[in-house]
Structure 1
Amino acid sequence: MNLPDLPVRAVLDDVAGALAAHGTAVLVAPPGTGKTTLVPLDLMSRTEGRVVVAEPRRLAARAAAVRMAALLGEPVGETVGYSVRGDRKVSQRTRVEVVTSGLLVRRVQNDPELPGVAAVLLDECHERHLDADLLLALLLDVRGGLRDDLRLLATSATVASGRLADLLGGAPVVTAQARTFPVDTIHVPPARGERIEACVARAIHRALADGDGDVLAFLPGAGEIARVGAMLDLPEVDVLPLHGRLAPGKQDAALRPGQRRRVVLATAVAESSLTVPGVRAVVDSGQARVPRVDHRRGLPGLATVRVSAAVAEQRAGRAGREAPGRAYRCWSQHEQASLPAYPEPEIRTAELARLALELACWSTPDGAGLSWWDPPPEGPLAAGQALLRTLGALDGGTVTSRGRRMAELGLHPRLARALLDGAAEVGARHAAEVVALMDAGGTATDVETELRRLRDDRGARWHAEVRRLARLVPGGPDAPDPALVVALAHPERLARRRAPDSPVYLMAGGTAAELPAGSGLGDAEWLAVAEATRDPGRAHGVIRLAARADEELAVRAAPNLVSEHDDVSWNGDVVARRVRRLGAIVLRDRPLRDPDPARVREALLTGLRTGDVLTWTAEADRLRARLAFLHGVLGGPWPAVDDEALWSRVDEWLEPELSRARRRADLARVDTAAALRRLLPWPEAGRLDELAPDRIEVPSGGRFRVDYSTGRPVLAVKLQLAFGWRETPKVAGGRVPVLLHLLSPAGRPAAVTSDLESFWVNGYPAVRAELRGRYPKHAWPADPQVP
């Protein structure tokens, strides 16, 4: 076997030796050095069993197998084959098989001993895809308990390999040095108001003008690739897309040298797993699309984020593989320092229902006992388990037979549920069509419009996926209903328009999402939403893919979300209604004639706490103030009567009136003074008028009311009526002197004192002199202590 002279070739013996001695090893080698193609072929020559190579992406798996087969001068499917979802080329003669990480997870689940497999190469571990992290944990568990002879080789394009080596039991690390050429970095930031696609197109024109060779441009997704391609008017240059949704023939075209100069518009698939020949310039948008979950809105999906510094360096390095190159970065130079160092591991940010199902199938629902690069976060894992229970895949923490069937389909549990149940409702073919669309995504918002487009596009990979999925499930009656299949996958995304002519819909899960203009769905009251995303700066989510629905379909698809209950609440008065809901969506709402008295009472309690409901008469206010004074001075058993204290003892003083009341007006008629008297302590209640008298008799014989509202007893009387009092009257058993407001004959303040004996000696003479002049007809004795 004559292998090409690539950098990894120099360390093949080291890799083989490390595996022979330790059983595990880590190979660090930059992209384009041959680690994906040369190492598996070398391992094959040194072992009797099959070598399995796990790639994070289908495109990379197929391309790696094609390249290795070409090195052997054979067609794919002979010595080297591949297996990806929906496409398999292997034979009994196959010694090296390239698979996706997710597919290998399924094989390990089906037969953990991996019979006939001598070695597994886990490629591009540094990318930290969720399936790859799970696969690594499962294979380490297999090596620890079933196959200690299974050799594991993990490869990485970065030097941050210490943690990986530790996971592999202190595995040796072998490093291959790449032959690279210098790459000049040019920053081409967007102009003010310029979209990133326009900036990338401008940078591509510059890259073509600055030098020779092909241009590789990195964009976050297929949509951006299509928009940039439409902006490039290059008659002498081939513009080729490269992403996972393309048919294999179109992918191959981007990976082969061409007759003319080429511009390859690629997603992250070209960062490390693939080699695009002839590239002399890289244009980097600085963006990537990664799984994210908006937990507040409950919208899992893909988010566009800034790339990390490590990814930007990998992308730039693609320009220096064959000759000196240039890297055009679509951000300013000062932004470089603010880039994150490495990409965030997918296990920390993605929705984890599929991972939860695989762990349950492995009989370790929480992942305990497995060796993780990063363990799954508890909250998202619990959310995934809750979803699985809703779908019938878990019973408590144990996987059900239905759950195992869903896992075998190799789809997200939501899509697996839609395929299984949808096939029984609308037929296998129709269910498969909608599931394949939801899995891959579309370009139109309307599901039916997108299905028509895909049916007419005979070259779309969608057709092969539909055929594959339809073969996996038994079919029911032929009754096309795209909305029903969508709703089976996402029942909590059934949505109803909030108001007539409004583009905003309320989903059953409680999240609001807006229908974009021009969707073709603007007249629909109900939608089954397949995809909704969050956009920065928007108050609502944005509906990206949906189908027309109606209430009947919604109830049929999500009967477990339908509830009917009596809603008794406080809204300025007791409001009692019978409400039928689909999750957060109100289906029907009508008045309730005979609400539950206990719930009415609770609503009235809410009103008591939040509004001025009771009628506090002057008598009740005075009694409350007297009780508050005694509680403050004497403490128990005199009760506290502040708002919080009253509400905490409402059963003692506001019954039976509260339980008999049915509306606000009933409480407004309550005699609050009589109600408060129920809090008077016994037998101390008999001393209330002694300790906190409502009125005090003056020397002349009149009785005047004491004001306790400030927390201190205050008696306002005309000064002449106090003549004959030698000492200040006291309350609370003689503990507290009354504060006397002494008034003139006209009722105006003349003096304030709580010490009459001192006032008569020190203050009265001056007050007497003033009042005698103002009111000469009144008697102002020199000795006021004589009545």
Structure 2
Amino acid sequence: MTIPPPERLPDLPVRAVLPSLLAALDAHGTAVLVAPPGTGKTTLVPLALAGSPGRVVVAEPRRLAARAAATRMAGLLGEPVGETVGYAVRGDRKVSSRTRIEVVTSGLLVRRVQNDPELPGVSTVLLDECHERHLDADLLLALLLDVRAGLRDDLRLLATSATVAAGRLAELLGDAPVVTAEARTYPVTVSYRAPARGERPEAAVAGAVRRALSEGDGDVLAFLPGAGEIARTSNLLSTLDADVLPLHGRLSPARQDDALRPRERRRVVLSTAVAESSLTVPGVRAVVDSGLARVPRVDHRRGLPGLATVRVSAAVAEQRAGRAGREAPGRAYRCWAEHEQATLPAYPEPEIRTAELARFALELACWSTPDGSALSWWDPPGEGALAAARTLLRTLGATTAEGEVTARGRRMADLGLHPRLARALLDGAAETGPRFAAEVVALLDAGATLTDVEAELRRLRSSTDEGARRWKTESRRLANLVRGPERGKPDAALVVALAHPERLARRRSGTAPVYLMAGGTAAELPAGGGLGDVEWLAVGEATRDPGRVHGTIRLAAAADEALAVRAAPNVVSEVDEVAWDGDVVARHVRKLGAITLSARPLRSPDPKLVREALLTGLRDEGLGLLRWSVDGARLRERMAFLHRVLGEPWPDVGDPALLSTLDTWLDVSRARRRADLATIDAGAALRGLLPWPAAARLDELAPDRLEVPSGSHLRVDYSGDQPVLAVKLQETFGWRATPKIADGRVPVLLHLLSPAGRPAAVTADLESFWHNGYAAVRADLRGRYPKHPWPEDPATAAPTRHTTRRAR
């Protein structure tokens, strides 16, 4: 087949810029094409590029888009797919020796580059829809730039984008020229309607679809976040006088093609984000936008990459609305309030910043740059997410401790699965047979409806629904990847444990079915799960629900200790464990992660570990474990007073401060158990914190006792907020002013007592008390204690500790 020249291609906006685009690519070897969706960049450009020697490879972010693009180009040539134009996606490939244009997914092309970086026979790689910032696409761009810099300087790279924010992309491609194609667009009228209180997104979309059909002609394209919402919306629209067609990646190729084909009746196409830019749906005059999208996040329930529902960005909302104005004036119906438009993020977050990076990290290891530092990135991967992914790869045996890929890791990467599932498929096939291992792995990848893995497998094998059909197809594909003899005993728990060794779980003692997983998390088996009262589980899915103490096990298989050790040998350890459990407990422990398999007492534990256990006990239970004499307690109170009043250099001796600095002031080297702590004089240890040389003034600044006019030396109480001196009133006669301590900064609070030692008055201003309060106190005490002296002028009277007669 002869590729038609540009002037014979369909009259789409991109056709006008093809000559300048081809010239720029010939001159620089790289270029960026900016063109909105529906302008022909995915179909016309590869056909134009195929006029030169070598194969053209087009990388698409989605399987559905790859198939659709190949089908469209083959149709323009009047050929079936697989001749001049072919495609390759996971589980499906249509190419031949005559194929000159091959459309592939970004992830598949990453694998090809890894296997043969020189890409023999390929002259040009077109990276389509770069603005979507898919993780595989960002990685592919970085690898191809490295290939072009070191191996293939003749390899032409063309990146296309639907947005004008192409400056950074052109910079990455070596200051590549940017060619822009203007779209022939028609005006689009945008209206807003926020869902009513409690109204689900599906109901809001269904209402907007009915309105769109009644207010104009043409087909309706509605955007929803996922297949589940599409199915529910379809049910709500079942009575429409129109063909309601789903469009998403989980449909069969025939049903996907059916949704893109014009019909005699009006169509309502319910689509995921795949129709934002990767696909053109002809005949659309109205767009309904739920305002929601699914984006990659870590699925903690399955421990695998997953999707989260988020609000769309302003750029995506604009792109969706533009689909209504490609062929004629159109209408866009947005299912949110108009004032919320200003709160949308400007652009979608790149997947490299939000996604789980285990597969990504394995590809970097295969490229001999575990941390990715040798590559040029549009946005570099997050350090935390990449570090977590590299740790997982070491656990699975895919990389060495230094991050270098192992032979096993390369085999895992070749499978194109998440490393967890790749490990389960490889090792599970050897242990249980390829077919059975593939069935369990396909189940783990897709999710389940029942808790018991074995029960879910039986259900899927006997069912004929669409989900079961997809599972069977994927199981067969995976089994073909690890062909071998069907030997070994089927064991679902083993395959699950190979994927999630940290989720091997052992039942805790007690009545509730709570299991401790090797990773340290506790999870509860729901009632009616079908697994009975088993001691060990291999957990495939678990959730952590807000407000619940434990997680909830959603998918698991019954296991035993032997299986756990066999599946997770890297997690098994033997250690001397010295810990605090109300007292020092020293044991030699064999563990599987956080799960104790066996333990025996240690006769001579490491003194350092004993010390750490004792300090842990003090931090847990407090300083009351030590011996506090009266003098030691008073020293602490005096030091606390000086820290409160004077600050540095006097240290903080409150419980939090002392417990956080145990290493600096407390010697527990002679202690071995709880009882030994009670023999340690805490006061003596505390003296080590006294600041020198300031400590020489301790008795001056915070005296233990004060001399009163009678000659008595009485103790000052520092236990409260203010120092207190309890003294009989008669012993203070002649004291004209309240004594002050801490370099005269703090007056002592005087508790003036009766001759019987009972409180008579409280004052921190003795001079004022003599003038204003003493007369009333004197009148009261004279009547009750007539044998004691009660002078009218106490400031000049002689102090005494005795009665009037004894004083004489």
Q: TM-score with structure 1 length normalisation?
A: 0.83
Q: Choose the corresponding residue for 2:441, options 428, 435, 440.
A: 435
Provide the aligned length of Structure 1 versus Structure 2.
783
Q: Which residue identity is paired with 1:467?
A: R
| Corresponding position of 2:628 | 616
CA distance in 2, matches of 1:254, 1:649: 69
How far off its partner does 1:695 sit?
A: 8.0
| Corresponding position of 2:228 | 223
Q: Choose the corresponding residue for 1:15, options 16, 21, 32.
A: 21
Do the aligned residues in 2 keep the contact of 1:86 with 1:464 (CA within 8 Å)?
A: no
Matched, 1:242 2:252: no
Matched, 1:337 2:348: no
How far off its partner does 1:620 sit?
A: 4.6
Instruction: Assess, with a 3 A threshold, how the Cα gap between structure 1 residues 606 and 285 changes in structure 2: closer, same or farther.
Output: same
Instruction: Assess, with a 3 A threshold, how the Cα gap between structure 1 residues 255 and 454 changes in structure 2: closer, same or farther.
Output: farther
CA distance in 2, matches of 1:713, 1:202: 75
Instruction: Assess, with a 3 A threshold, how the Cα gap between structure 1 residues 778 and 272 changes in structure 2: closer, same or farther.
Output: closer
CA distance in 2, matches of 1:443, 1:632: 62
CA distance in 2, matches of 1:638, 1:279: 79
Q: What's the secondary structure of 2:50's corresponding residue?
A: helix
Do the aligned residues in 2 keep the contact of 1:601 with 1:659 (CA within 8 Å)?
A: no
TM alignment of 1:512-661, pairs within 5 A: 527-531=537-541, 546-563=556-573, 569-570=579-580, 582-584=592-594, 599-609=609-619, 610-611=621-622, 612-618=624-630, 620-621=632-633, 659-660=670-671
CA distance in 2, matches of 1:696, 1:514: 64
CA distance in 1, matches of 2:189, 2:697: 96
Do the aligned residues in 2 keep the contact of 1:297 with 1:511 (CA within 8 Å)?
A: no
How far off its partner does 1:541 sit?
A: 6.8
Do the aligned residues in 1 keep the contact of 2:540 with 2:555 (CA within 8 Å)?
A: yes
Q: Which runs of 5+ in 2 are unaligned?
A: 801-806
* CA deviation string 1:374-406 (max 9, x = no partner): 111211111111111111222213222222222
Q: Choose the corresponding residue for 2:673, options 656, 662, 680.
A: 662
The more displaced of 510-519 and 626-635 is 626-635
Q: What's the secondary structure of 1:398's corresponding residue?
A: coil
| Corresponding position of 1:415 | 421
CA distance in 2, matches of 1:118, 1:444: 50
CA distance in 1, matches of 2:716, 2:540: 69
Do the aligned residues in 2 keep the contact of 1:706 with 1:713 (CA within 8 Å)?
A: no
Do the aligned residues in 2 keep the contact of 1:82 with 1:97 (CA within 8 Å)?
A: yes
Do the aligned residues in 2 keep the contact of 1:281 with 1:326 (CA within 8 Å)?
A: yes
CA distance in 2, matches of 1:766, 1:469: 99
Q: Choose the corresponding residue for 2:180, options 175, 181, 195.
A: 175
| Corresponding position of 1:204 | 209
Matched, 1:323 2:328: yes
The more displaced of 507-516 and 686-695 is 686-695
Percent identical residues: 77
Matched, 1:79 2:84: yes
Matched, 1:359 2:364: yes
TM alignment of 1:57-76, pairs within 5 A: 57-76=62-81
| Corresponding position of 2:757 | 747
CA distance in 2, matches of 1:771, 1:378: 78
| Corresponding position of 1:33 | 39
| Corresponding position of 1:470 | 479
CA distance in 2, matches of 1:164, 1:451: 46
Q: Which residue identity is paired with 2:443?
A: L
Do the aligned residues in 2 keep the contact of 1:726 with 1:785 (CA within 8 Å)?
A: no
Matched, 1:426 2:432: yes
| Corresponding position of 2:152 | 147
| Corresponding position of 1:53 | 58
* CA deviation string 1:304-352 (max 9, x = no partner): 1111222222222223333333333222222222222221111110011
CA distance in 2, matches of 1:726, 1:270: 93
Matched, 1:377 2:382: yes
CA distance in 2, matches of 1:122, 1:603: 59
CA distance in 2, matches of 1:680, 1:48: 86
* CA deviation string 1:218-257 (max 9, x = no partner): 2212222222233332375433322222222222222222
The more displaced of 55-64 and 187-196 is 187-196
Instruction: Assess, with a 3 A threshold, how the Cα gap between structure 1 residues 784 and 389 changes in structure 2: closer, same or farther.
Output: same
CA distance in 2, matches of 1:359, 1:651: 44
Instruction: Assess, with a 3 A threshold, how the Cα gap between structure 1 residues 291 and 193 changes in structure 2: closer, same or farther.
Output: same
How far off its partner does 1:43 sit?
A: 0.9
* CA deviation string 1:81-117 (max 9, x = no partner): 1111221111111111111111111111122221111
CA distance in 2, matches of 1:755, 1:313: 77
Instruction: Assess, with a 3 A threshold, how the Cα gap between structure 1 residues 297 and 439 changes in structure 2: closer, same or farther.
Output: closer
| Corresponding position of 1:104 | 109
CA distance in 2, matches of 1:161, 1:434: 43
Q: Choose the corresponding residue for 2:48, options 27, 42, 49.
A: 42
Q: TM-score with structure 2 length normalisation?
A: 0.81
How far off its partner does 1:289 sit?
A: 1.0
Q: What's the secondary structure of 1:404's corresponding residue?
A: helix
RMSD: 5.0
How far off its partner does 1:202 sit?
A: 2.9
| Corresponding position of 1:490 | 500
Instruction: Assess, with a 3 A threshold, how the Cα gap between structure 1 residues 615 and 345 changes in structure 2: closer, same or farther.
Output: same
| Corresponding position of 2:804 | none
Instruction: Assess, with a 3 A threshold, how the Cα gap between structure 1 residues 70 and 504 changes in structure 2: closer, same or farther.
Output: farther
CA distance in 1, matches of 2:691, 2:326: 92
Do the aligned residues in 2 keep the contact of 1:299 with 1:534 (CA within 8 Å)?
A: no
Do the aligned residues in 1 keep the contact of 2:125 with 2:158 (CA within 8 Å)?
A: yes
How far off its partner does 1:285 sit?
A: 1.9
Instruction: Assess, with a 3 A threshold, how the Cα gap between structure 1 residues 276 and 552 changes in structure 2: closer, same or farther.
Output: farther
Q: What's the secondary structure of 2:179's corresponding residue?
A: strand
CA distance in 2, matches of 1:353, 1:582: 23
The more displaced of 330-339 and 536-545 is 536-545
Instruction: Assess, with a 3 A threshold, how the Cα gap between structure 1 residues 623 and 512 changes in structure 2: closer, same or farther.
Output: closer
Matched, 1:129 2:137: no
| Corresponding position of 2:803 | none
Matched, 1:392 2:397: yes
The more displaced of 624-633 and 774-783 is 624-633
How far off its partner does 1:129 sit?
A: 0.5
How far off its partner does 1:449 sit?
A: 5.0
How far off its partner does 1:576 sit?
A: 6.7
CA distance in 2, matches of 1:722, 1:536: 65
CA distance in 2, matches of 1:756, 1:195: 75
Instruction: Assess, with a 3 A threshold, how the Cα gap between structure 1 residues 753 and 327 changes in structure 2: closer, same or farther.
Output: closer
How far off its partner does 1:678 sit?
A: 9.9
Do the aligned residues in 1 keep the contact of 2:32 with 2:159 (CA within 8 Å)?
A: yes
* CA deviation string 1:641-685 (max 9, x = no partner): 7768977997999768x734523x554466767888999999xx9
